[in-house]
Structure 1
Amino acid sequence: MNRLNLKTKLLTIALSFLLFGNSYSQNLLNEGKSDSKLVIKLKDGYQSFHINNIISEQKEIINLIIDDATDKEVKTLLGDHIQVCDSLKKIQFKNDTLKTYISDYLTLTKQSYSISINKGFNSPAFKKDFEKYKAFCDKYINYLYSTFATHNFIRMNEEVYWKTIDKKNYIKSAEYETYKKLKTTNLKEALILLEKISKQTTKFQEYCIYQIELADQYVKHAENLDENSINKAVDIYKSIIDQKKYSIYLFEAWLKWRIVTQQFTYGISKTSEIPNDKYDKVREQAALIVLDYINTHSNDEMAINEFLLLATHGIVKRFGDYPYGNQNTVEYHETFDD
């Protein structure tokens, strides 16, 4: 890709992010059916991490285009980021301490952007302000993670969690063992059998297990199956969430849907399109299902834990420890490599 085309692509990515930031600067999870203290606190946490994700992506977009954009283009981008910060301030919180932290975080983020516009990123004024900004961010993030730490909501330990989420607990089909043996010798026939097993089950939890297993096999063995295997997998993961039924495997379905979609549809490069807005809309869809379940099962610690997983899991990032592309590749291999 020549430099002009790269610049055009980068500016297109920046523009698409601005549309995302503005469209999502609103209260989330408004469709929930309860105002219980637990639900209110969980909503506060969800919206806090949502704001963090938007600001995090703003900074990634700046890093992405800084070397290729003109000063005017960078200043325009920063000005638009400031407007998004103003819009994010409209999101409401019940926790007054959290509300103050969020307000200060957005104000100081705007201040950093304003100094960048007026003085430049390399100016002494920016560097001086950035040290103070970083110190505040560290304090704010520490508060956020300590406030919404899992142990503040549930008493279940890790051992109990892994025992409860073990899929063996919910597999009741006598034919599943046949499927497991068959997939080592004839994968295509095994997947036909698995689809049959899935259709026969009447319990959604068990159904999710079979469907996720089916999609996983389409991903792991895409080269040996038909050319539409990846699309089938993506559709299966998404269809689990679209049924609007609670399961302890909704987070897994959402995460795998996002990982596979990014890896095979949008790409693995730092300059690939990364539609975190799209991913987060489906995240919110799953979170609402879990939240509605918590409304009537407030003591279900697996449900509360799943909501926190959905709330706190980071967006797909361009930059990180993996230097050869965006960070989805790391998550892809961590998830699907045996």
Structure 2
Amino acid sequence: MQNFRWKWIGYYAFSSAVIASVSLAMVAITVVLYEFKLEPVNLAVLVLSAVTAAVVIGVIFGFLFSRSLHSKLNEIILGVKKLTYGDLSYRLAFVEDQDLGEIASAFNEMADRIDAQVTSLQKLAEENEQLIQQAKTAAVSEERQRLAQELHDAVSQELFAISLTSATAAKLFEGNPNQAAELLRHIEKSAAKAQAEMRALLLQLRPQTLEEQSLIDAIRSLAEELTAKMPIKCHLKIADLTLPSHIENQLYRILQEGLANVLRHSQASNVEIKLESYDSSSRVHLTIEDDGVGFSKENIAHTSYGIRTIKERVGALGGTAEWISIPGRGTRLEARIPIRR
């Protein structure tokens, strides 16, 4: 850029000098020939002197103009660099200049538009951040309400039933020990059911995002926690997939909900978790299959929160969720989710 500027300036000075020289030479020749009638030698000296003087004058004027032009070009380049590095307050002052005024005006107008766009984007980012925080607060509130409802509907009711049954058993113990023993067995089943419900809720209270670990590590950790607390074996078939973070987070939450349902209802000894892709890696397939008691479609509570939550999470990703179950042989959840990168 530096060489280009000086070449352009030099060309301007040279052309100015040549034009001025030729003009003065023509004037001098005309005057001498018709007025003074000098000898050729003297005429040549005079013409040479005139040309030399014209060249010097042209160079001086060209240099003065080029220096001014060079200064303004430097200012334009400085302004572009400042905009590039984020200084949006810089403006060019020579908008009334005859030669570069239009460029200066266009530069200032561009800077104004960029400044306005950046301000608008910053405001939009702040508004989005506020909306995100509001959404997080609403999600936390909804999750608390859900857990409170499940504690009331399942655990609290089981504990209340245990309390009533134990009081009845105590009264029957001396007069009818056989009936009292039957009530004690019922209390044992209710306590086991309440314990399974609590474990399922604790499983759902694990972190909801994968900020510090991969999806594979999170699934393995979840399976280890499950087998450590329950007499159940987890079998993993997890493909090493590269998925968008929002899909990974939702898959993890779907898995939590699915395993919580296994703990609550299945009475299973084994559960298999598979995660794989198909259709040329355009879809991801999550399967949770247990060997528990299963259920019939006529008896399933489609409105139960666990199933409804899984359907909502899968549906939000544009996927489908399906339960296949045979009474006495187990249940399989299949979630198919498209991958949009």
Normalising by structure 1, we get a TM-score of 0.20
Larger Rg: 2
Normalising by structure 2, we get a TM-score of 0.20
Q: Structure with the greater relative contact order (CA < 8 A, sep ≥ 6): 1 or 2?
A: 1
